[in-house]
Structure 1
Amino acid sequence: MTRATNYTNAAQQRLLQLIDLLAGHELQGLAPAEIAKALNVSASVVTRDLDNLRTAGWAEQTPQGRWRLAPHVIEISERYAAGVRASVQGLLDTTQRYGQSAGVRGMFAAP
């Protein structure tokens, strides 16, 4: 679902590609040269992008100088999951209230 607009920004899109690239390499991370090759950009661009991700808490450097996603990514996914659970519970509660008032029971029971 790609839609071209005047609002896209190459640097921001590259940061998102970098996040996707780092995902799955949490244990050993990736070397800057590996990142540059995978994204087809220069080492200086990778350095700048990684520094931006580190500043925002999205990436961290291993003791070996490799890069991986930081725990901040997990924190975001946990907040997302909590929001989804709360929304589902709210929908179930509302459905149950309306179902009871309409004489419908068990139609929308939670699994």
Structure 2
Amino acid sequence: MAHKYDNASQQRILRALLMLAGNEFNGVAPGELAKAMGESPSTATRDLHNLKEVGFAEQIQETGRWRLGPKVVQLSFAFSTELTRARQRLDEITYRYTRQP
């Protein structure tokens, strides 16, 4: 059931982003993306352009195919870094409360 905040174009772009994942070496052709999503090639091209504008997708110059952009990977590294910091802080707190006086 659709929620009042659902937005079809935003959902479509997010689905396109998910479809690019796992194709970082060979990429995905806009036509393949359009077919897989049940959209027109022009819609897929527009979505890819918008993903490119924020660094979430990039076009492979040699083939014209598309893959995830560096920004997506940078987000995952940022999460990993923050997770490491949180673990270190938790370890410090655990040590502080569990050490023998």
Normalization by structure 2: what TM-score?
0.90
Specify every segment of 5 or more residues in structure 2 that has no aligned partner in the other structure, as ranges.
none
Alignment-derived partner of residue 17 in structure 2:
19
Equivalent residue number for residue 35 of structure 1: 33
State the shift of 1:65 in Å: 1.0
Aligned residues: 100
Q: Note the alpha carbon deviations across 1:14-63, whole angstroms, 9 max, x for none.
A: 11111110011111101111000111111111111001000001101112
Distance in 2 (alpha carbons) for counterparts of 1:95 and 1:86: 14
Q: Which has the larger radius of gyration?
A: 1
> Aligned residue for 1:108?
none
Q: What TM-score results when the alignment is normalised by the length of structure 1?
A: 0.83
Runs of 4+ with >3 A deviation: none
Larger relative helix fraction: 2
Correspondences of 1:1-111 after superposition (within 5 Å): 4-63=2-61, 64-100=63-99, 103=100
SS in 2 for 1:65: coil
| Higher relative contact order, chain-length normalized (CA < 8 Å, sep 6+) | 2
* % identical aligned pairs: 44
Contiguous gaps of at least 5 residues in structure 1: 105-111
What is the CA–CA distance in structure 2 between the aligned matches of 1:19 and 1:67, rounded to whole Å?
10
